[in-house]
Each structure stands twice: as structure tokens, then as C-alpha cells.
A and B are shown apart, each in its own frame.
Chain A
Amino acid sequence: QITLKESGPTLVKPTQTLTLTCTFSGFSLSTSGVGVGWIRQPPGKALEWLALIYWNDDKRYSPSLKSRLTITKDTSKNQVVLTMTNMDPVDTATYYCAHPDPRPGSFFFDYWGQGTLVTVSS
């Protein structure tokens, strides 16, 4: 059974760096084809894909946010960490980590964490 859970601060100040951790179970990031992604959703708005990391350390970032994002993995801990620099109130959102289908070319998300709401405010 695949599960994912996000953790991190609920409140960050403008200009600060956000660090979120996704702790997962039921799969291994050392298995070929496996990845973990991050998606966010501002209150009342649509979903926005942010970043994704694969078992081979291949990383993909949203072009619009690439300069601010870093995604890393700790295979031994079953964790993926997302950092976002220079946070702004417009970054207030629920941040989800999710498991993409591992089949080649299948970049959709079949398992999601519960999400964590991050508010950016001074």
C-alpha cells in the first residue's frame, strides 16, 4: 500500500525559504522508473505541478519556478525534500507530494499525500 505524507512549516515569512518533506511508504526510490512529485494548489484555485525527482536522480522543475526550487531525495529514509526560496504571499497554497505512475511516459499521479497548507505572511 502506497502512502505519502507532507510535513513542514505552516507559516513562513516573505523572503524566507520553505522546506517541505515528503515521507512515503509502499515503494522505493531506488526502484527503476519510480519518482515523487510536488504539486501545489492556492486556496480556491487550480493545481500547479512544481517538481519531480526520479529513482536515478533525474529532476524536473516547472520552468516558471525553476530558479526557486530544489528537489532532493534520501532513499534510505524514504523521503523527498522540496525547497522553495524567496517565498511570497502568492505562494500561499496547499502543497502535495504525489507518486507518478512508474510506467514509461506515464506522468500522471496515482497516489497523493493529504497535503499541507503553507501560508506566507509577515
Chain B
Amino acid sequence: VIWMTQSPSLLSASTGDRVTISCRMSQGISSYLAWYQQKPGKAPELLIYAASTLQSGVPSRFSGSGSGTDFTLTISCLQSEDFATYYCQQYYSFPWTFGQGTKVEIK
């Protein structure tokens, strides 16, 4: 099983801030990483796959980077609708696993 460490678990930020979320793997996964956004009471939504490919319809202020064991989700200019919880997911090896989540809250 590939273990994932997502940090921070809670991030306080203001509208307009640049925020960065980290996801670290217990072993290399090449670029087989996805990022999801989840708002309260809603299902997760796919933001990024293959570590850096933006899903259709996702604003360009979201970006992903990294390969191997260290990955980053960046929101370049935080908007009010971006306050949510973000999860990474590895799909390099079975069983597919999710990170513990990062809640982005209003400072």
C-alpha cells in the first residue's frame, strides 16, 4: 500500500492569496496523481490528473506539479469559491489511495 502524507491539514488564507498544498508519497508514483476539490455536503470534483493536467472546465488559477514522491497543488489567486477541502489520490498502484485532505478556510 502506498501511504500519502498531505499537508497542511488546515490552511487559513485570504482571497487573492497564493496557496500551496503538498502531497508526499511513501514510494514513487511517477505522475499518477489526481487532485480533487470537495465543498461541504457535496461530492468531490476532479481538478487535476496526471499530476499537472487540468481537467476540462477547471479555472487556470489551479495548477499541479511534481513527480515521483512529491507533489503540489497551487491556487495562484484564491477566490471565494475556492474555500473547500482538497484531496490528492494516487493511481499508480492498487489499492488506489487518497490523502487525508487539506481544508482551506478563510483567514
Contact = CB atoms under 8 A, between A and B. Distances in A.
Q: Is the interface of B mostly helix, strand, loop or mixed?
A: loop
Contacts, number: 53
Is chain A's binding surface mostly helix, strand, loop or mixed? loop
B98 A46 contact: yes
Interface residues of B, number: 22
Interface stretch (B14-22, B38-46, B61-69, B70-78): B38-46
A60 B44 CA distance: 21
A71 to B, nearest CB: 14
A62 B49 contact: no
Interface of B: 1, 32, 34, 36, 42-46, 49, 55, 87, 89, 91, 94-101
Interface of A: 46-49, 60, 62-63, 96, 98, 101, 105-110, 112-115
